[in-house]
A and B are shown apart, each in its own frame.
Chain A
Amino acid sequence: MSPARILSRQALAGLARDRSVLILVAFFAAMVLVTAWLGWSATATVNAIYADAAAYLSGAGQPVPPNPVSTSAPLAVLRNLGVYISLIGAFGAIVIGQHLVEADRRAGTLPLIGAGPFARRDIALGKMRALVTATAAMMAVAGVIALGTLLTLPSLVVTGPDLGRLALFLLAGWAYVTTFGFLALGAAARLPATAAGLIAATVVWLVITFVLPELTANLHPTAAINPVTTLAATPDAGVFHLFSALLGPVSLAEGFAWLSGDLLGFLPEGLAPRGLVPPALALSVALVLSGLFAAQAATRLDLNAGGPDA
């Protein structure tokens, strides 16, 4: 087994035994379940109303229109999932990224790892591998719950291409949350003070989630956490068009929301993404850049720091 793999396995085992990480992941899973229940409940209500209306209309000899559930995109029932990934998922990844460095620092094991017979890049690779696996596990939980919801809803016809789009949505969600995890990992490696990495990455996340949408689309924080209102068109004012063009590519929360709407089938017709860079490309570039930052910072991690007072 390679040193990076050994380090990754140890880090994942540590995450699995850390109460704060477990609580966050459980909270994320619970919110995904709530999303599923909301989608299921809303669809079941529409189905019930439709059944009553159809029975009444047939009895009155009137034509029966098609069930609106069967005419809308089936994945749209998961529209709240994007919000929870963007909020709780991203914050969970930040906590995990910071924990991957801080746990070793607190345990005073960084010098022991640093005195091991392997290259410094193995330490970075091990940490990054653990992060990527942990965030993939979070998305897998979301995927299983989402799939369960789709398959148990009556009147909802889920096709192969729908499942493909769901997989792409989960991949985009993974890229989005992992970007923040990498930022936290890199920041924790760079900043030796306890929780400094967590705070730095959280500030970046807050700016991307709440400040940038305000500048590009006059979206207030409460609107920014709503899956429908966050997909607003750029207001018809010069300043918003300017900020939209300039900040659009880095406004990752908006980019992810647009991508969610597009993949899950609830994107308002004709709504263009902010800026000139397609959101999928912006997310991919952000993931690569944050990964490079994490790799560079973790390779140069001060292995002398830490101990019981850290």
Chain B
Amino acid sequence: MPHATPAVSTRGLSKSHGETVVLHPLSLDVPQGEVFGFLGHNGAGKTTTIRLLTTLLAPTSGSACVAGHDVTAEPLKLRAAIGYLPENVRLYDQFTARENLLFFARLSGVADPVDAVRETLEFLDITALADRRVGTFSKGMRQRVGLAQAILHDPEVLFLDEPTSGLDPMGVRQLRAVIEKLHGRGMTIFMNTHLLSEVARSCTSIGVLAHGRLVFNDSMQAVADRYDEVGLEELYAGVAAAGVAA
């Protein structure tokens, strides 16, 4: 049963760079506790949407609320309620994973940073990596430490931008398990992705963005009911093509 206040809510949210419209007015609600998969081709505007919702970019028009806080009126309260994992996070190579995480824990205002880091490392099952320098890590290891920094302060809403990008199948599987655990804790997850298989396995609702326009938005249950025969890939191709034509 969805809660009354959506975790993410946008009304006519748009972004333009000069004459170029990157995101057409977007109206979207993501209920609390959902794992929302945001699909779209490269350059569709998914990353821009996340940057708007995390206050890293200022909207050209429209409004948005995350965890009940307006992106322009209450940016500090909003940022205290979110976690964010960008697509290409590297972290500080010359520091260990623990040192990186302690820095971000302190920056997030966590009351007991040492404890929070230890618990998060255990939760993600990466305690063995804690005292190794991040510069020696593979992409998958970095991604898991990056995810750790995003959930250290137990945010209400977690934004993941292409979290499976560059991961091997085992890495994808481990990330999926983490997402399921976080979902089990009631966290709302807003995830940009290309991988339809991940959406099918992890998400409870999806939105499809094509050339900056939201062309589809529904629950995975509805998708399953309505498009059971054609499958998710056909659905995606169909709505994306329709969006382009529109």
The reply to whether A308 and B91 contact each other, CB–CB distance below 8 Å, is no
Contact B107 A113 (CB under 8 A): yes
Could you tell me if A107 and B90 are in contact, using CB atoms closer than 8 angstroms? yes
Let me know if B103 and A103 touch, CB within 8 A. no
With contact pairs A115-B82, A116-B108, A304-B51 given, residues A109 and B92 touching in the complex (Cβ less than 8 Å)? yes
Enumerate A89-121 residues with CB–CB distance to B below 8 Å.
Answer: 103, 106-109, 111-119
Q: What are the residues of chain A within 8 A of B56 when measuring CB–CB?
A: 111, 114-115, 303-304
Chain B residues with Cβ below 8 Å from A307 are 86-90
- In the A-B complex, the 7 residue pairs with the closest CB atoms: A307-B88, A117-B80, A17-B94, A115-B84, A117-B79, A108-B90, A111-B86
User: CB-CB < 8 A to A115: which residues of B?
Assistant: 54-56, 79, 82, 84
Contacts beyond the supplied A108-B86, A112-B84, A115-B84: 14 A-B pairs with Cβ under 8 Å: A6-B107, A14-B95, A107-B90, A107-B93, A112-B104, A112-B149, A115-B54, A115-B55, A116-B107, A117-B76, A118-B76, A118-B79, A118-B107, A307-B87
Cβ 8 A contact of A304, one of B57, B99, B104: B57
Residues of chain B contacted by A303 (CB below 8 angstroms): 56
Q: Which A residues lie within 8 Å of B76 (CB)?
A: 117-119
Residues on the A chain within 8 Å of B84, using CB = 111-112, 115
- Can you identify 20 A-B contacts, CB atoms within 8 angstroms? A3-B107, A10-B103, A13-B99, A17-B95, A106-B90, A107-B90, A108-B89, A108-B90, A109-B92, A111-B51, A111-B86, A112-B104, A113-B107, A115-B55, A116-B79, A304-B57, A307-B86, A307-B88, A308-B90, A309-B88
Q: Which of B81-132 contact A (CB under 8 A)?
A: 82, 84, 86-95, 99, 103-104, 106-109
- The verdict on A1 contacting chain B, using a C-beta distance below 8 Å, is yes
Q: How far is the CA of A111 from the CA of B86 in the complex (A)?
A: 7
Contact A107:B91 (CB < 8 A) given known A112-B149, A115-B82:
yes
Could you tell me if B103 and A108 are in contact, using CB atoms closer than 8 angstroms?
A: no
Q: Quote the shortest CB–CB distance from B206 to chain A (angstroms).
A: 24
How many chain A residues touch B (CB < 8 A): the figure is: 29
Please report the number of residue pairs spanning A and B whose Cβ atoms sit closer than 8 angstroms: 79
Chain B nearest Cβ from A75, distance in angstroms = 39
Q: Given known contacts A3-B107, A304-B56, is B79 in contact with A103 (CB within 8 Å)?
A: no
In the assembled complex, the Cα of A162 lies from the Cα of B104 at a distance in Å of 46
Which of A108, A119, A304 makes the CB contact (< 8 A) with B91?
A108
Say if the beta carbon of A212 comes within 8 Å of chain B. no
Given contacts A115-B56, A118-B76, A119-B76, contact A107 B107 (CB under 8 A): no
What is the distance, in angstroms, from A40's C-beta to the closest C-beta of chain B?
37
Measured CB to CB, the closest approach of chain B to A207, in angstroms, equals: 34
For residue B93, which residues in chain A have a CB less than 8 angstroms away from its CB? 107
What are the residues of chain B within 8 A of A7 when measuring CB–CB?
A: 107
CA gap between A3 and B108 in the complex, in Å: 9
A298 CB to closest chain B CB (Å) equals 16
- Nearest CB in chain B: distance from A53 CB, A: 57
Closest to B106 in A: A6
One of A3, A107, A117, A118 near B92 (C-beta < 8 A): A107
A308 CA to B88 CA, complexed, in Å = 7
Q: Report A193 CB to chain B, min CB distance, Å.
A: 17
List B contacts of A18 (CB < 8 A): 94
Give the docked Cα–Cα distance between A102 and B95 (Å): 16
Give bound CA distance, A112 to B91, whole Å.
9
Give bound CA distance, A3 to B109, whole Å: 8
In the assembly, what is the distance between CA of A309 and CA of B88, in Å? 9
In A236-277, the 8 Å CB interface with B consists of none
Per the bound structure, the CA–CA distance linking A112 and B95 in Å amounts to 16
Contact B92 A103 (CB under 8 A): yes
Which residues of B, 180-226, contact A by the 8 Å Cβ criterion? none
Neighbour of A117 across the interface among B88, B94, B103, B108, CB < 8 A: B108
A10, B57: Cα distance in complex, Å: 25
Q: Which of B6-43 contact A (CB under 8 A)?
A: none
Cα A141 to Cα B88 with chains together (Å)? 39
Distance, CA A36 to CA B150, complexed state (A): 51
